[in-house]
Amino acid sequence: MKSSDKVIVFVLDSNLIYQRIIAQYLQVAGIRSVIIFSDPDRMYQSLKLRPHILISEYLFNKNALLGHQVLARVRKESPSTDIYFHTTLQDVDAAVSSIKEGAIDYVIKSTSALDGLVRKIIKRLKYRKNMDKSTRTIRHLVGFLSVIVLVMVVMIVFYSLF
């Protein structure tokens, strides 16, 4: 893994203000190569850069394009890219299916969530820097189980409110 100043992060979000906020958070955390997109097709054309991280919203063009479609395409063209969904869609099924399909995390948009997301990304980059290829399978399994537990906790909290 490259040092954080050589890490490439793509941000895909239709909200221009939110794009810039995410980019600023990442740059303050030491990630200098942040490329923002509001159009998935333009982002797809840039996948040849092999970004290390993609932070994407889940819904585009009034639900015409869903996150799982973005996830499948990025997985196909840049399989080593870690994908994080940062979205307003509070849908447990979408979160669980995203994780099952290979997303690293599914986070509901808020300022505190963005701060936590950036911390997770930095932690993951440091972790990946020290890993070799033989331990990646174990890392995915542990991460997947952690997300399942997190989703279960979120579901319990969500359903207890009703």
* pLDDT tens string 113-150: 877 888 888 888 887 777 655 566 676 677 777 778 77
Secondary structure letter of residue 92 according to DSSP: H
The amino acid at 28: V
Give me the phi and psi of 105, to 5 degrees please.
-155, 160
Nearest partner of 57 among 89, 29, 103, 95, judged by Cα: 89
pLDDT at 1 over 50: no
Q: Is residue 63 part of a domain?
A: yes
Confidence at residue 29, expressed as pLDDT on a 0 to 100 scale: 87
CATH number of the domain to which 155 belongs: 3.40.50.2300
Q: Is residue 1 part of a domain?
A: no
Q: Kindly state the greatest CA–CA separation across the chain.
A: 46
Q: Is residue 88 part of a domain?
A: yes
Burial class (CB in 10 A: 0-12, 13-18, 19+), 107: middle
pTM over 0.85: no
Of 103 and 157, more confident? 103
12 CB-side CA count, 13 A: 29
pLDDT at 64 over 80: no
Q: Is residue 2 part of a domain?
A: no
Number of domains in the chain: 1
Nearest partner of 21 among 4, 30, 34, judged by Cα: 34
* pLDDT tens string 33-55: 999 999 899 999 999 999 999 99
Q: Is residue 27 part of a domain?
A: yes
Q: Is residue 3 part of a domain?
A: no
Of 115 and 63, more confident? 115
Structural domain boundaries, residue 64: 8-160
Q: Is residue 60 part of a domain?
A: yes
What 3-state DSSP class applies to 56?
A: strand
Q: Is residue 43 part of a domain?
A: yes
